Amino acid sequence: MGVDVLLGLQWGDEGKGKIVDVLAPRYQVVARFQGGPNAGHTLEFDGIKHVLHQIPSGIFRADIRNIIGNGVVLDPVIFKKEADALSKYNLDLRGNLHISKKAALIIPSHRLLDAAYEREKGEHRIGSTLKGIGPAYADKVSRLGLRVGDVLSPGFRRKYEGLKASHEAILQFHRFEYDLAAAEAEFFACVDFMKEFHLVDSEYLINEALRTQQTILAEGAQGSLLDIDFGSYPYVTSSSTMAAGACTGLGVAPRHIAEVYGIFKAYCTRVGGGPFPTEQLNDIGEALRKEGNEYGATTGRPRRCGWLDLPALKYAMMINGVTRLVMMKADVLNGFDEIRVCTHYRLADGTVTEQLPHDLLEGTVEPVYQTFKGWKTDLKDVHHFGQLPEALARYVSFLEETLGLPINFLSTGPDRVATLQREAVLG
Ligand code: GDP
Ligand code: IMO
Ligand code: MG
C-alpha cells in the first residue's frame, strides 16, 4: 500500500478529473498536491457535468476524505464559489474536505500582478489563466507569502496589508491601474467562509492514513509539459506537476509512492503560449477542436490541437516513473480517415532524435510522423478492449509497444461509464 499518483502527461486537460472520479471508489483519501484555480477538472455522471478547480475530484463520493495539500495555492473566493455550486448536491463538504494550513493563499492583488506581468510580456505572454498562480508561488518561494493557517491568527489583517503594500508598489512601477476595494471585501468574507472548514496539518492526516493502510490517491493538476522544471519553460505553470511534486506537496516520503497513473489524450492539446511541435493550424486542428470540444474548462479559451507527440510523451513517462497508462478521448478520432503520430523529431541540422531538445522554443524541430488508418466507427457500443475496431486495436498496440507499457484504461466519452478497463493487467 502507498500513495498512488494520477497526473497529466501532456499540457494539461488530459481528463484527470474524469479518471479520478472513475478510480475514486478504490480509494479512501483523494488529495490535490499542487496547482490551484488554474486547474479545471471535469467530471460527468448521471447526465450532469461538474467542473472542479480547487476541490479534489473525490468529493462526490461520501466515504472519501478529500485533502487540499500544502503544495496547492488556494483562492478563498474561488473556493467559496465552488463550494456554493456544490451545495445543491447534498455533499458533506465540511465533514469530508480538509485544507492544509500550509497551502499558500492567493490574495486579490496576486491576480492583478498576474495581469500586469502578462501585459508587460506582450506577444511573449505565457497565456496564464490569470488566477494569480505565478505571483502566489513566487511569494511562497520568496518567503513573503501568506498561508491558509495565517487566517486563524489575530495578526492576519496586518500580514495581509504588508503583502498587499508590496504588491501595490510593483503595480505602480508597472503603471497598472486597479481598484481593489470590492475584491478585498469579497476576499475577507470568503476567508471567513473558509474558516468553517477543517484547516489542518494535512501531512499528519496523510501519514496516519498511510500507517493505517488506507488507500490514497494524489490528484495532479496541469501536466508534465507545464512543469516548472521540465516543462517548456518559460511557458509553464509555477508548480511541480510531476510525481515528485506529490511528495513535497503532501508531505509524503518518496518510498511511499506506489502506482503512477499517467494520462494522455489520443492526440494533443495546449492552451496558452509556447511551443507545440505537432500543432495542426489547419482543418485537422479545427476538426480535433470541434470533435473534442476543446475549450478550456477554466477560461473557455479554444485549445490548440495537434497530433500525439511520442517523444514528449516518453519524456513525461520517464520523469514521472509512470506505471499505468490511461488513454483519453479515443472517440474524438472516430471520424478521421487517417491518424498521425509523431514518433521522432528532425532537428535543424538534420539529426533525427527521440529526445526533447532544450531549444524546443526556437521552433527548430520538425515532427516525423507515422500514419495509421482511422477506424471510422462509433465507439458507443464498445465496452471491452476485445471489442475495439481493428484499426483502433492496432493504434493501441503500436502505442503500447512504443511506450513499453500496457494501456490500462481507454476512455471513449466524457461520462464516467464510457471507460474501458484492461482487467487482465490490473488484476
Ligand atoms: P482535466 O483538467 O485533465 O481534468 O481535463 P478537463 O476537464 O480540463 O478536459 C477534459 C475534457 O474532455 C472535459 O470536457 C471532459 O468532459 C472531456 N472528456 C474526458 N474524457 C473524454 C473522452 O474520452 N471523450 C470525450 N469526447 N471527452 C472526454
Ligand atoms: P488542468 O489541471 C491546461 C496553462 C495556462 C498557461 C500556463 C500558465 O485543468 O489540466 P498559469 O495560470 O498557471 O499561470 O498558466 O499553463 N495551464 C493549464 N493548461 N490545463 C490546466 O490545468 C492548466 N493550468 C494552467 O493556459 O499556458
Ligand atoms: Mg482542465
**Ligand 2 pocket mutation pick from 237, 270, 279 by most atoms within 8 angstroms of CB:** 237
Query: For residue 152, which phi and psi values (nearest 5 degrees)?
Result: -85, -10
Q: Could you give the CA distance from residue 120 to residue 167 in angstroms, rounded to a whole number?
A: 16
Q: Could you give the CA distance from residue 184 to residue 200 in angstroms, rounded to a whole number?
A: 25
Task: Return the closest-CA partner of residue 272 out of 73, 11, 34.
Answer: 11
Q: Is 149 in the pocket of ligand 2 (CB under 6 A)?
A: no
Distance from residue 271's CA to the centre of ligand 3 (Å): 10
Q: What is the pLDDT of residue 358?
A: 80
Q: Which ligand minimizes its atom distance to the CA of 18? A: 1
Q: Is 226 in the pocket of ligand 2 (CB under 6 A)?
A: yes
Q: Which ligand minimizes its atom distance to the CA of 38? A: 2
Q: Is 269 in the pocket of ligand 2 (CB under 6 A)?
A: no
Q: Is 126 in the pocket of ligand 2 (CB under 6 A)?
A: yes
Q: Could you give the CA distance from residue 259 to residue 241 in angstroms, rounded to a whole number?
A: 16
**In the chain, what is the straight-line distance between the N-terminal and C-terminal CA atoms, in Å?**
15
Q: Which ligand minimizes its atom distance to the CA of 415? A: 1
Residues sharing a CB contact under 8 Å with residue 81, sequence separation 6 or more, in sequence order? none
Neighbours of 248 (CB within 10 A): 16
Q: Helices H, strands E: what count in the chain?
A: 13, 20
Atom of ligand 1 nearest to the CA of 222: 2
Residues sharing a CB contact under 8 Å with residue 290, sequence separation 6 or more, in sequence order? none
CA dihedral 371, 8, 41, 410 (to 10 degrees): 50
- Bridge partners for 257 per DSSP: 3
How do beta strands 41-45 and 338-346 pair?
unpaired
Atom of ligand 1 nearest to the CA of 412: 23
Task: Return the closest-CA partner of residue 7 out of 226, 185, 182, 178.
Answer: 226
Q: Is-contact 317 291, C-beta < 8 A? A: no
Query: Residue with the nearest Cα to atom 26 of ligand 1?
Result: 413
- The length of the chain is 427
- Bridge partners for 73 per DSSP: 104
pTM attached to this predicted model: 0.97
Query: For residue 66, which phi and psi values (nearest 5 degrees)?
Result: -105, 135
Query: For residue 383, which phi and psi values (nearest 5 degrees)?
Result: -120, -10
Distance from residue 326's CA to the centre of ligand 2 (Å): 20
Which triple of cell numbers denotes residue 427?
A: 488484476
Q: Could you give the CA distance from residue 239 to residue 49 in angstroms, rounded to a whole number?
A: 27
Query: Residue with the nearest Cα to atom 5 of ligand 2?
Result: 128
Residue type, 216: I
**Ligand 1 pocket mutation pick from 270, 295, 328, 334 by most atoms within 8 angstroms of CB:** 328
Q: Could you give the CA distance from residue 7 to residue 14 in angstroms, rounded to a whole number?
A: 9
**Which parts of the chain have pLDDT scores under 70?**
363, 424-427
Q: What is the pLDDT of residue 424?
A: 54
Q: Is 136 in the pocket of ligand 2 (CB under 6 A)?
A: no
**Ligand 1 pocket mutation pick from 7, 18, 41, 54 by most atoms within 8 angstroms of CB:** 18
Residues sharing a CB contact under 8 Å with residue 329, sequence separation 6 or more, in sequence order? 15, 265, 266, 267, 292, 411
Neighbours of 156 (CB within 10 A): 16
Residue type, 85: A
Q: Which ligand minimizes its atom distance to the CA of 262? A: 1
Task: Return the closest-CA partner of residue 187 out of 102, 100, 111, 91.
Answer: 111
Q: Could you give the CA distance from residue 150 to residue 106 in angstroms, rounded to a whole number?
A: 12
Q: Could you give the CA distance from residue 122 to residue 142 in angstroms, rounded to a whole number?
A: 25
Give me the active site residues, please: 13, 41
Query: Residue with the nearest Cα to atom 6 of ligand 1?
Result: 13
Ligand 1 proximal residues by C-beta, below 6 Å: 8, 12-18, 40-42, 44, 292, 297, 328-329, 331-332, 411-414
Residues sharing a CB contact under 8 Å with residue 242, sequence separation 6 or more, in sequence order? 7, 220, 224, 227, 230, 319, 320
Query: Residue with the nearest Cα to atom 25 of ligand 2?
Result: 38
**Ligand 2 pocket mutation pick from 271, 276, 305 by most atoms within 8 angstroms of CB:** 271
Q: What is the DSSP string of 12-27?
A: S-SSHHHHHHHHGGG-
